[in-house]
Every structure is written in structure tokens, then in C-alpha cells.
Structure 1
Amino acid sequence: MKIVCLGAGPAGLYFSILAKLSNRNHDVTVIERNAAGVTFGWGVVFWEELLDDLYRNDPVSARALAEAAARWDTQEVHIHGRRTTHVGGYGFSLGRERLLDILTRRASSLGIELRFQQEVEDLSAFADADLIVASDGANSRARQLQGDAFQTQIELGRNKYIWLGTHKVFDTFTFAFEQTPAGWIWFHAYRFNEDTSTCIIECPPETWKGLGFDTLDSDATLRRLEAIFKRQLDGQQLINQTRGRCQAQWLHFRRITNERWRHGKLVLMGDAAHTTHFSIGSGTKLAMQDAIGLASKLREHADLPTALAAYEEQRRLDILPLQTAARRSTEWFENVPHHVEQLGPRFAYALLNRRSSPTRWHYLLHLANQDEMLRSALRWLHFARGKVRSRRRQCSVAA
């Protein structure tokens, strides 16, 4: 089969790897408009479930990703520069640049052709391909070239956000909220390597305009944000540009859905097919699981239309709970000025459970987590469980 993946993000690269592993005779090409090593964004987060999936499908790249990832084992909520509450849970974070580098090297080692700095203006250039995978992001050019074939719907979030980096190392997943004369503004931040953290700053449009961000240039915007979050950043600067990439801009989140994910031999994957709000940190997970899903259906069905239909049906079902959770999370953050009136522990509890309807037992556990000794015990338990799970993955690969 001749396969062309448009877009060298996590979805396109990982699918190309799985397609080649399933059949070394597949002719697989990945085409990317940007130069090699250039990407937008800082760090990404993921959890044990994704690592389990990756080890089952390609232990080589899974091991490299696991070794490169940073681990955080607690969350903190800060209000007015003071840590008020600890929130349980743990996960992993990894620089997006490092993630793509690992996947690119793996794809290249398998003989996959990688073409960078190549714009796609007309899909007729791939007339000889059996399958074209549109993995070129939320603004998918491949999707747009098909007119309204996918019946794409785009819904803008209310809040403004900007995705930045900083050399302030946040060892915990940190939420920080500050009240300014113009209203509330907040960030969530986490480290993804030894000296750099992601810092996504968000606020209602009224706060954004009241603070003058509608008129400030990029440098002035960073300086104002650094002044607002001076206590949390410990004097470190915010960064909005690295390795020649364009500067970060204030955006509205774009929730993208498609009535159809396939049109002829063209199929959508990752953000080209669906987006989920950044506050639940599942974009990379869903993109790579899309890749796993499509590769699996291609192995199960010899007939391409049947495989693509099965892929779409299965992945729609799989992502529905996360899409629901993402919508709830979006709505919660769009109402932060209302929620933040609650006392510290209750506010943090509402933040932690913004995607679900927890029981009173969960709240009692949350209160217990504020005790340092109990919190240390829970962190040790999470660490031990993580070690057991990691050994189990390694043993399954060895077997």
C-alpha cells in the first residue's frame, strides 16, 4: 500500500511508524510544511494509559519517550501568590520538540520517507497514493482543500489564552490565580525538562482588554504578565519564541468537530478531526491513539473503505467521554470569577473535579491530602504503583 501522511505531528509520525511496522512493504511518506525540528508549543502531558498503549504497539519508541519524559506527582493551587491547596494525581510531561524528534528518528530508521518544507496545495499530487492521512492539525490544509466534504464545525471558546515557556521550573503541576484591577487571570504550568516549563496563561476577554493586551506588543505583553505573576515565577522571564519560530499570540480555543472523518481515500486524524480543550491535556494522547486505531483497522480489514469506516466509528466512541469532559472543563474555566469566591480547599476541589460529579468520599480524601504526612504517603503510593506498572510493561515487552 502506498500511504501519504500530511503533517509530521504526533499523529502522522506515529501512524507512519505503525503502518510500516505492520507491513514493511508499505510505501510510507510523511510530508511536513515546516522545517525539521520546528514546532509550535512547549511541553505536552500524558498519563500511564498512553504509555501502556505505546508499549503495546512500538516498544522502541515507547521506551525512548518514557526515558525522556519528566514526571510530576502532585498538583498545587496558588491564589494571590500563596500555595493554598495540594491536589493529588500524577502524570508525565515532555517537550513537544523532543517528542517529535524521537518519532522522527524512529520513522527514519524504519525507512519512512520524510519530506520537510513542502507545502501541499493540491491533493492531485498524490493521485497514485492508496491512502492519504490528513494529520496536519486544527487548521488542516488537506481538510480545507476538500471544501465542505467533512462538514467541519468550529466553535470559539470565550476566554483568551497564550501558550508560553519559562525557565522557572515547576516541579508540580501548578495552577496559579491572580486578581487584578481588571479581573482574574491565571495560568497552569509544568516542567517538561530539567530547566524549562510550559506556562499557559488564560483570562476572560474583559480582563484581557482591561489589562491592555489588545494594544500591547509582544515584549510589553510578556513584561506585564511577568509583573502579574512575579511571585510564582521567582523572577524568571516568560518566553514566547525559540529556534526562530513565530511569536506566540493570544488566541481563543477552537473546538473543531467534523460530521465525517473520511472522504474517498482521505482520512482525518488528530486535531484535523477533533480538538479538545488544552485544560484536560489530552490532545497528544488522542492523536497517537487515533494513529493506533487506524493502524489496527487497516490490519483487520483488507478493504480500505471498510477499514476507514471502522476506524471512524470506533474512534468517535472512544473520544466521546473526553470530549464531554473537555467541554465541562472549558465551561468551568470560563466561569472562574464565580468559582474563585469559594474558600481555598473547596475551590481547589471544584477545580480538580470540574470534569465529573464526585462523591463526598472524594472530598474527604481531598481534605486528607492537605495533611503533609498523609500527602507524602499518597505520593509514595503513587510512585510505587508507577514503578510496578513500568516493570509490568517492560516484562510484557521482553516476553
Structure 2
Amino acid sequence: MRITCVGGGPAGLYFAVLAKLADPARSVTVLERNPPGVTYGWGVVFWDDLLDDLFAYDPVSARRIWEAACQWDEYEVRATGKDVTYLAGYGFSLGRHRLLAILSERAEELGVDVRYSEPVSHPVRHRHAPTPPTLPHSDISDLPGGRARNAELADADLIVACDGAGSQLRNADAAHFGTEISTGANKYIWLGTPHVFRTFTFGFEKTHAGWIWYHAYPFDDETSTFIVECTPAVWSALELDRLDAAAGCARLESIFAAHLDGQPLINRSSGWLNFRRVTNQRWDNGNVVLMGDAAHTTHFAIGSGTKLAMQDAMELADSLTTGGPLAPALERYEHRRRAALAPLQRAARASSEWFERMPEYADLPSIRFSYALSDRRGEYPLWRYLLHVSTQRSVPRAMLRSALNARRRNRARRRPAAEPRIPQLTGG
């Protein structure tokens, strides 16, 4: 089987790793449009459930990810005019550059051909699937660099489209996939800062124009992710719609000065965005299958994008283990991932809608406000509120953190560290 992954993000690289683990003789290529080391975003977050899965599938890359990640053991909530409060929980964070470096290194160790500066931006005729008559067709030779540059697409038995929410391969056949994109109301921007936050922090500031807030977390010893979000009305009133990148960062540094300890904000993104919810009625077309953000997106407020992309890769690898035709395997992958995604997608929608209504909660007392933030999915029983109230005091809070960290250590000890789980891929 010849496999080509279009997109060198976590989904594409990790699936390439699993494909090579399945059979080192397979030909596996990853085409990434950006040069090496160029990626969108700052840090990513994940939890023990993803680590458990990573160790089950490939302990080598899992251990490297685990050892490189920062660990935090609670959430901190700050808001203008309110006491600082805390939410129970723990997780991991890692620079996106570092994660991709780990995965690309692992893939290349296994013999994956990882190619950078390889754009795929034209419609491609998919093997085993007719070209929809309403869409223009370009041969592989029409791509930048000609046939030699992207011959892997023409010759591939399986093409994995994991090139992000704006996937070119998916968009070329959007009518077939039934692609639907809805846009969230709030504006947000993905920034970084050399101020290293102690733990995952939500900070809310009330300005003359209204409320604006950030989601921040450390991902190495020198840098934190700093995502700023607000309603469109506040965004316009603060003139953030008219300021260039430098002036916009300066305005935000002034607003969040009490949180940044004199450190700057750094903008390496494309600017302010509205979150795009991507769904598809179908995930495959002939020998082309969607993965990660190309197939689905979940709002950043629940921090599950990387986790879901890598779990897509695991499920696709598993679905190709039984042998036989490719089509049933791709259908099996889609069915299982849709079922697994459904509760998280509901949670992500509830979470994003809570932030769109955030000003409605702003007048709550500090403890009730932070609990409303914690319970924005509306799932918690009464005892969670009682626990939240009691653990705002230092001694019960320290006891809870100690208990959670003990659970984290016990869970880590149960992870396999020996031979990787090796699925056998379909095809010859």
C-alpha cells in the first residue's frame, strides 16, 4: 500500500508513524506545504486519556511527548473586581513546534518520507472515484512543480487529507463531502508571551467597552500561549479591528498589564479570527479520506483539537487492520470516530456559546462566576459545586491537588512502556 498524507500536522505525522509501524515495507509520504519549523499556533494542551492512547500505540513517541510536556495541576480564574479562584483539574501542555518535531523525527526514524514546502492547492482526480462534473479538474502535472513534485498523489492507494480546517483537497470536492462551515460570533487571536503562567489561567478584564478575556497556559520554561477573546462589539469599541499587529498587541498589553508582569505579547498569527465549525456529511471519496480539522473542528475552549486529530489517526490505523477492500475500512473509521466525537462536539458547542454569553455571568460573585465557567457544559451534579466552594480555602485546595497528583502518578505507572501496538494495514 502506498500512502500519502497531505498535511504535516499532528494527525498526518502520527498516522504516518502508525502506518510504518504496521509494515516497514509500506511506502508512506507526508506532504507539508510549509517549510520545516513553520507552524500556526503556540502551545497545545492534552490530558491523561491521550497519553494513555499514545503509550498503547507507540511508547517511543509517547515517552518523548510526555517528557517534553509541561504539567499543571489546577485552573486559575481571575476577573476584574473579583477574588482569584481555582478550579480542580490537571493537564499537560507542549509547544506545537516541539510536538511536530517529535512526530516528524519519529516518522523519519521509521522510514517515512516527510517533505516540506510541498503545496497541494489544485483539485486532484481521486483514484477509484469519478470527478464531480460541477468541479474543475486539474491533472497532477498542473500542480506547482509538475507531476514529479506530487506524483505521490497520483500513485497513492490511500490519500489522507489532513491539511487543516481550510483543506484544499476537501474543498476541491466539497459537494461530495457535504462540507458545512458555521462561524462563531466572538473574535479571538492566538498570541504568545514570554511571561510564564504558573498554571492554566483564565483572565477576564472589564474595559470601558466591556469584557475581554484570555485563555493562557505555559508550554515550556520560557513561553506561554495567550489566546484573547471578546465579543464583536467590544472588539470594535477597543479599535482592535483597525489596529495593525504591533499596535493591537500594545493595546492588549495595556489591558492585561496586571496579568503579564511587564512582558510583551507576540503575534505570529494571521490576526483576529472567528472560530469556524467544520462538519462533513461524508469523510471519504474513493481513496481519499479526511482526518483532523479537515473532517471536523472543535472550539479551542475545550482544548481537544490535537487530541482528536491524533485519535483520528489511531482509529484509521485500526480500521485498516482487517484486510479486504479499502472502502469498508474507511466507512468503519468514519462511523467509529463520529460516535466518539459526538459528546465532545456537544461540549465544545456549549463551551463556545457560554463565552459568547459571558457578560451575562459577569456580575456573579467570584466563586459562583468561576463555577459557572467550570460548568459551562451544564453537566455537573450538586456535589461538584460543594467541592468547588470548599476548595477555595488553602488547606482543602492543597489536599485536592495532592490527591489529583497521586492519581496522575498512579495512572502513569500503569502505562505500557514495552513494545508498541502494531496494527496491520489493508492492502498490498
In which range does the TM-score fall when normalised by the shorter chain? over 0.9
Distance (Å, rounded) in 2 between the aligned partners of 1:83 and 1:160: 26
* Aligned 1:351-390 pairs, distance under 5 A: 351-390=373-412
- AA aligned to 1:198 is T
Aligned counterpart, 1:269: 291
Contiguous gaps of at least 5 residues in structure 1: 242-246
Q: Does 1:303 align with 2:325?
A: yes
Shift, 1:270, TM fit: 0.2
Distance 1:394 1:294, change over 3 A: closer
Aligned counterpart, 2:17: 17
Match of 1:127 among 117, 133, 154: 154
- Secondary structure, in 3 states, of the residue corresponding to 2:89? coil
Aligned counterpart, 2:348: 326
Distance 1:57 1:144, change over 3 A: same
Asked if structure 1 preserves the Cα contact closer than 8 Å seen for 2:184 and 2:276, the reply is: yes
Distance (Å, rounded) in 2 between the aligned partners of 1:122 and 1:359: 50
Aligned counterpart, 2:49: 49
User: 215-224 vs 139-148, which deviates more?
Assistant: 139-148
Match of 1:350 among 355, 360, 372: 372
Shift, 1:356, TM fit: 3.0
Shift, 1:36, TM fit: 1.0
- AA aligned to 1:351 is L
Q: Does 1:291 align with 2:313?
A: yes
Aligned counterpart, 2:62: 62
Distance (Å, rounded) in 1 between the aligned partners of 2:109 and 2:89: 36
Aligned counterpart, 1:84: 84
- AA aligned to 1:218 is A
- AA aligned to 2:26 is H
- Secondary structure, in 3 states, of the residue corresponding to 1:137? coil
Asked if structure 2 preserves the Cα contact closer than 8 Å seen for 1:81 and 1:229, the reply is: no
* Aligned 1:32-47 pairs, distance under 5 A: 32-47=32-47
Match of 1:250 among 250, 262, 272: 272
Shift, 1:293, TM fit: 0.3
Shift, 1:171, TM fit: 1.6
Asked if structure 1 preserves the Cα contact closer than 8 Å seen for 2:82 and 2:365, the reply is: no
- Secondary structure, in 3 states, of the residue corresponding to 1:176? strand
Shift, 1:15, TM fit: 0.4
Asked if structure 2 preserves the Cα contact closer than 8 Å seen for 1:189 and 1:197, the reply is: yes
- Percent identity of paired positions between Structure 1 and Structure 2: 55
* Aligned 1:193-232 pairs, distance under 5 A: 193-232=220-259
Report Cα offsets for 1:258-306 as digits up to 9, x if no partner. Answer: 0110111100000000000000000000000000000000012422101
Q: Give me the TM-score of the superposition, normalised by structure 2.
A: 0.90
- Secondary structure, in 3 states, of the residue corresponding to 1:156? strand
Shift, 1:149, TM fit: 1.1
Distance (Å, rounded) in 2 between the aligned partners of 1:117 and 1:99: 19
Q: Give me the TM-score of the superposition, normalised by structure 1.
A: 0.96
Report Cα offsets for 1:324-345 as digits up to 9, x if no partner. Answer: 0000001100000001111100
Asked if structure 1 preserves the Cα contact closer than 8 Å seen for 2:59 and 2:417, the reply is: no
Aligned counterpart, 1:233: 260
User: 136-145 vs 75-84, which deviates more?
Assistant: 75-84
Asked if structure 1 preserves the Cα contact closer than 8 Å seen for 2:78 and 2:204, the reply is: yes
Distance (Å, rounded) in 1 between the aligned partners of 2:298 and 2:402: 31
Aligned counterpart, 1:244: none
- Secondary structure, in 3 states, of the residue corresponding to 2:118? coil
Report Cα offsets for 1:152-171 as digits up to 9, x if no partner. Answer: 00000000000000011112
Match of 1:167 among 194, 197, 200: 194
- AA aligned to 1:345 is I
Asked if structure 2 preserves the Cα contact closer than 8 Å seen for 1:55 and 1:397, the reply is: no
Shift, 1:357, TM fit: 2.4
* Aligned 1:111-190 pairs, distance under 5 A: 111-120=111-120, 121-124=122-125, 125=140, 126-190=153-217
Asked if structure 2 preserves the Cα contact closer than 8 Å seen for 1:164 and 1:248, the reply is: no
Shift, 1:395, TM fit: 5.6
Contiguous gaps of at least 5 residues in structure 2: 126-139, 141-152, 422-428
Shift, 1:201, TM fit: 0.3
Q: Moved runs in structure 1, 4+ residues, more than 6 A?
A: none
Distance (Å, rounded) in 2 between the aligned partners of 1:132 and 1:366: 48
- Secondary structure, in 3 states, of the residue corresponding to 2:321? helix
Asked if structure 1 preserves the Cα contact closer than 8 Å seen for 2:160 and 2:288, the reply is: yes
Shift, 1:398, TM fit: 9.8
Distance 1:254 1:190, change over 3 A: same
Distance 1:81 1:396, change over 3 A: farther
Distance 1:298 1:81, change over 3 A: farther
- AA aligned to 1:84 is V
Report Cα offsets for 1:93-126 as digits up to 9, x if no partner. Answer: 0000000000000000000001110111343432
- AA aligned to 2:124 is L
Distance (Å, rounded) in 2 between the aligned partners of 1:312 and 1:395: 29
Distance 1:110 1:397, change over 3 A: closer
In the alignment of these two chains, the number of paired residues is 394
Report Cα offsets for 1:367-390 as digits up to 9, x if no partner. Answer: 111010111111111111111111
